[in-house]
Amino acid sequence: MRRRAILGYGAAGVGAVALMLFVGWWQVDGPGGPEPVGQRPVALTEMDFRLTDHEGNAVGPETLIGRPTMAFFGFTYCPDVCPTTLSDISEWLDDLGDEAEEMNVVFITVDPERDTVETMAEYVGYFHPAIRGWTGPEEQIARVADSFRATYERVPTESGDYTMNHSASVFLFAASGRFVTMIDYHEPREFAVPKIRRALEEEMEGAT
Partner 1 sequence: MKKYILTSTLAALLTLGGLSVPALAGPEDVVVEHAWSRASIGMNRPGAAYMTIRNTGDEPVTLIGLATPLAMMPEIHETKTNAEGVSSMSPAGEIAIAPGESVALEPGGLHAMLMRLQELMTEGDTFPLTLLFDDGGEVTVEVPILGIAARGPED
Residue 32 is a binding residue for partner 1 (CB under 8 A): no
38 Rama sector, left if φ>0, alpha if ψ -120 to 50, beta otherwise: left
Residue 190 as a binder of partner 1 (CB under 8 A): the answer is: no
Contacts of 160 (CB under 8 A, 6+ apart): none
Pairing of strands 170-173, 179-183: antiparallel
Cβ atoms within 10 Å, residue 114: 14
Which of 127, 173 has the CB closer to partner 1?
Answer: 127
Cα radius of gyration (the chain): 21
According to CB under 8 A, which residues from 36 to 55 bind partner 1? Answer: 39
Q: Please identify which residue in 165, 204, 205, 206 interacts with partner 1, judged by CB under 8 A.
A: 165
Cβ proximity of 107 and 74 under 8 Å: yes
Q: Is 155 in the site for partner 1 (CB under 8 A)?
A: yes
For position 87 contacting partner 1 by CB under 8 A, the verdict is yes
Query: From the list 40, 43, 77, 96, which residue makes contact with partner 1 (rule: CB under 8 A)?
Result: 77
Among 51, 167, 172, 177, interactor with partner 1 by CB under 8 A: 167
Q: Is 118 in the site for partner 1 (CB under 8 A)?
A: no
